[in-house]
Amino acid sequence: MEFAIRMRDVTRRFGGRRGVEGISLAVAPGELVGLVGPDGAGKTTLARLAAGVIAPTSGKVEPESRGRVGYLTGRFSLYPELTVLENLRFFARLYGMRRPAVDSEARRLLDWVGLLPFTGRRAGDLSGGMRQKLAFVCAVIHRPPVLILDEPTTAVDPVARVEFWRLLRDQARQGCAVLVTTPYMDEAEHCDRVLLLHEGRALAAGTAVELKQRLPYKMAELTPARGARPSLTELPTVGAQRRGETELMFSEAECSSQAELASAKAQDSCPAVLEPAGVQHPSYVELAPAGVQRPSRAALTAAAEGLPGCRWAVPLGEGVRVALDPDAPLEAPAGYELREVPADLEDVFLWLTGAGEEVPAR
C-alpha cells in the first residue's frame, strides 16, 4: 500500500526528557488518522515530526510529499492585522502560487467553509471557530497531498467543532492524507484509525470499533432512582419543614424578602413547586416525599464501587460510570438504577493506562 506519511520506530528527546519513544505510524492517501491522548502524551511532537518541523533523535520519518504539506499548528499563527483575504494571499505566495490562481481558489475555499462574506474582516476580529476555519483554508489553499493539524478544535464551540470535522472528512475524501491530533476521545470516533498515546508511548492503534472491542469489561451507569430529590444538605436552603410524610424545602434565591419566605412556610397546602410573589424564576420551593432523597456524590461512588464485579468507577454527570466483569449481574442496590451502556474510547484509555483506579473484584 502507498503511504503519504510513514514513521518507523521514531524517538524524539528534548535534552534528558522523552517526547515520544518507539512510535511507528503510517497514513495512506484519503485516510483520516487521529493521534489521541491527554496533554503531554506526545501528540504535538509527532505532528511536528510528521510535518518535518523537527527531526527525530532516532528512527525514520518518510513523508512522501515533503514540501507540499499543509500544517495547522496548535496556536493561531495567522496575522491578526491582515484581513481574511490578505492572509490567504500571503500564505499562497509562500507556497509559490500565482496571484490569478490565488484569488479564484481563495474565494472557492472561503465559500466552502462559510467565510466568503468576511473576506475584508481582520483576522484578529474573527471568532475562535472562524479563526480556525481561516487557518485551515490557509493550510490547504495549495492543495497539499498531506494535511497535518495539531488540536484544531481546542477552544472551539461545539457547533464549530462539528463543522470542522466535516471539513476534515471532505478533505480526506478528496484523496488527502490527514493526520490530526486531539485530546477529545469523542472526536476520535470521526477518524478512520486512531493511535492512543500516553506519556510519549503508543498504547494501542486501530479503528475506534476495534479498540472498544478489546475492552474486557462491560460498561454500566449507576444513577439515583427516578424521583429521588436532592438531599437537604446539598441545597442552598434557608428553611425546611417536615409536614406529615413530606419535606418542604425553601431556597433563598426564590424569596425576595423574609416576609415572602414566612408566607410560603405558613401555607397549609402546597403544589410541588411554589412561586412566591414577585419572583419570575424561582430555584425551587419543593415538596418531596420524606426520606426519598438523592444520594450524595460520595455515596453514589461508594455504591458503584460496591457492585459485584466492579473494576473501576468514575463519576460522570448525574451518575457514575462503572466497569464490570462480563458476567457481573446488573443488579442495582436499593435507591439506585443500573443500566448497561456502550463502551467508548475513554473507557479503553482508562483500562490501558490503569487510570481507572481498579478496585478488588467482588
Q: Which residues of 28-66 are buried (b: 16+ CB within 10 A; e: fewer)?
A: bbebbbbbbbeeebbbbbbbbbbbeeeebeebebebeee
Q: Which residues of 165-176 are buried (b: 16+ CB within 10 A; e: fewer)?
A: bebbeebbeeeb
The pLDDT, as a whole number, for residue 150 is 94
CA–CA gap between residue 233 and residue 217 (Å, rounded): 35
Name every residue whose Cβ is closer than 8 Å to that of residue 210 and which is 6 or more positions away in sequence.
none
Q: What percent of the chain has pLDDT over 90?
A: 56
Mean of pLDDT values over 267-275: 40
Residue 234 has pLDDT above 90, yes or no: no
Q: Name the pTM for this structure.
A: 0.77
CA–CA gap between residue 187 and residue 191 (Å, rounded): 8
Going by the DSSP 8-state scheme, the letter that residue 300 receives in this structure is: H
CA–CA gap between residue 309 and residue 328 (Å, rounded): 5
Cell matching residue 324: 464490570
CA–CA gap between residue 205 and residue 138 (Å, rounded): 30
Cell matching residue 111: 465559500
CA–CA gap between residue 181 and residue 194 (Å, rounded): 10
The pLDDT, as a whole number, for residue 350 is 93
Start-to-end CA span in the chain (Å): 48
Inter-helix orientation angle 128-140/99-113, to 10°: 140
The pLDDT, as a whole number, for residue 7 is 94
List, in sequence order, the alpha helices (H) in the chain: 43-51, 84-94, 99-113, 128-140, 158-173, 208-214, 258-266, 297-305, 345-353
Report DSSP letters for 94-125, one per residue.
HTT--HHHHHHHHHHHHHHHT-GGGTTSBGGG
> Would the CA dihedral through 112, 118, 124, 128 be positive or negative?
negative
Find, among 234, 193, 185, the residue nearest to 24 by Cα.
193
Does the 5-214 domain belong in CATH 3.40.50.300?
yes
* pLDDT tier, 292 (very low <50, low <70, confident <90, very high otherwise): low
List pLDDT tens digits, range 309-337.
Answer: 999 999 988 899 999 999 999 999 998 99
Mean of pLDDT values over 48-77: 83
List pLDDT tens digits, range 30-59.
Answer: 999 999 999 999 999 999 999 989 999 999
Domain ranges of the chain: 5-214, 218-226+296-353, 231-294
Give the best-scoring range by mean pLDDT among 205-209, 281-285, 292-296, 357-361: 205-209
138 backbone dihedrals φ, ψ, rounded to 5°: -60, -30
Cell matching residue 106: 481563495
Q: Which CATH number fits domain 218-226+296-353: 3.30.390, 3.40.50, 2.60.40, 3.30.70?
A: 3.30.70
Q: Which residues pair with 241 in a beta bridge?
A: 248
